[in-house]
Amino acid sequence: MSAPVPHLAVDDLVAGYVPDVPILRGMTLSVATGEIVTVLGPNGAGKSTLVKAVAGLVPARSGEIRVKGGSIRGLATHRLVAAGVAYVPQTENVFTRLSVEENLELGGLSAPAEVRARMAEMYALFPDLARLRRLAAGRLSGGQRQMVAVARALMARPHLIMLDEPSAGLSPKLTEMVFQKLEEVRRTGVTLLVVEQNARAALAISDRGYVLAEGRQRFTGTARELLSSPEVGELYLGTRTRLAS
Partner 1 sequence: MMQVIADGLVAASFITLGVVGLSMIYNILNFPTFAQGDHIAVGAYFALGVVALAGTAGSVAGLSFGWPLILGLFCAAVLTAVVALALDRAIFAQLRRRDASRISLIMASFGVALMLRYMIVMAAGHDPHYYAFAITPALNLGGVRIQPNELISIAVTVAMVVGLHLFLTRTWLGRSMRAVSENPTLARVNGIDVGRVVRWTWIIGAGMAAVAGVLLGVVVQIHPFMGFELLLPMFAALIVGGMTNIYGAVLGAVLIGLAEALTIRYLAPEYRQAVSFIAVFVVLMVRPQGILGEKP
Partner 2 sequence: MDVLSYLVFFLVVAGIYAVATLGLNLQWGFTGIMNVGVVGFFGVGAYTAAYVTGPNYPDAFGGFGLHPLVGYLAAMVVSGAVAFVVGLPTIRLKHDFLAIGTFGIAICIQLVAMNWKSATRGFDGLHSLPKPFAAAAGSPFAANLAYLVMVVAIILLVTLALERMVRSPWGRMLRAVREDETASAALGKDAFRVRLQTFVMGSGLMGLSGALYANFTGFVSPQDLLPIFTFQVFVMLVVGGSGNNWGAILGAVVIWGLWTATETVLSALLPPGLQQQVAAVRIVMVGLILVAMLLLRPQGLLPERRNVSPEARLKP
Query: Taking CB under 8 A as the rule, which mask of x and - marks residues 123-162 in contact with partner 1?
Result: -----------------------------xx--x------
109 binds partner 1 (CB under 8 A): yes
Residues 16 and 24: beta-carbon distance below 8 Å: yes
Residues 104 and 132: beta-carbon distance below 8 Å: no
Which residue, 80 or 201, is less far from partner 1 as judged by CB?
Answer: 80
3 state DSSP class of 212? strand
- Using the Cα atoms of residue 90, residue 94, residue 100 and residue 102 in order, give the sign of their dihedral: negative
What is the C-alpha separation between 114 and 129, in angstroms, rounded?
Answer: 19
Query: Which positions from 189 through 218 interact with partner 1, judged by CB under 8 A?
Result: none
What is the C-alpha separation between 123 and 129, in angstroms, rounded?
Answer: 6
244 binds partner 1 (CB under 8 A): no
Query: Taking CB under 8 A as the rule, which mask of x and - marks residues 3-42 in contact with partner 2?
Result: --------------xx-xx---------------------
Strands 60-67 and 8-15: antiparallel
Count of residues of this chain found to bind partner 2 when the rule CB under 8 A is applied:
4
Give CA 11 to chain center in angstroms: 18
Residue 216 phi/psi, 5° resolution? -135, 165
Amino acid making up residue 166? P
Query: Of the listed pieces 21-29, 31-39, 98-106, 168-176, which binds partner 1 according to CB under 8 A?
Result: 98-106
51 binds partner 1 (CB under 8 A): no
Which residue, 3 or 18, is less far from partner 2 as judged by CB?
Answer: 18
Considering only 19, 112, 127, 238, the residue that binds partner 1 (CB under 8 A) is: 112
Strands 36-40 and 191-195: parallel
Binding partner of residue 20 among partner 2, partner 1, none, CB cut-off 5 to 8 Å per kind: partner 2
What is the C-alpha separation between 213 and 43, in angstroms, rounded?
Answer: 9
Binding partner of residue 17 among partner 2, partner 1, none, CB cut-off 5 to 8 Å per kind: partner 2
3 state DSSP class of 131? helix
Query: Of the listed pieces 41-49, 67-75, 96-104, 118-126, which binds partner 1 according to CB under 8 A?
Result: 96-104
Query: Of the listed pieces 90-98, 120-128, 166-174, 177-185, which binds partner 1 according to CB under 8 A?
Result: 90-98
- Compute the chain's Rg from CA coordinates: 18
Residues in the chain: 245
In the complex, which residues of this chain contact partner 2 (CB under 8 A)? 17-18, 20-21
In the complex, which residues of this chain contact partner 1 (CB under 8 A)? 55, 57, 76-82, 86-87, 89, 92-98, 102, 105-107, 109-110, 112, 152-153, 156
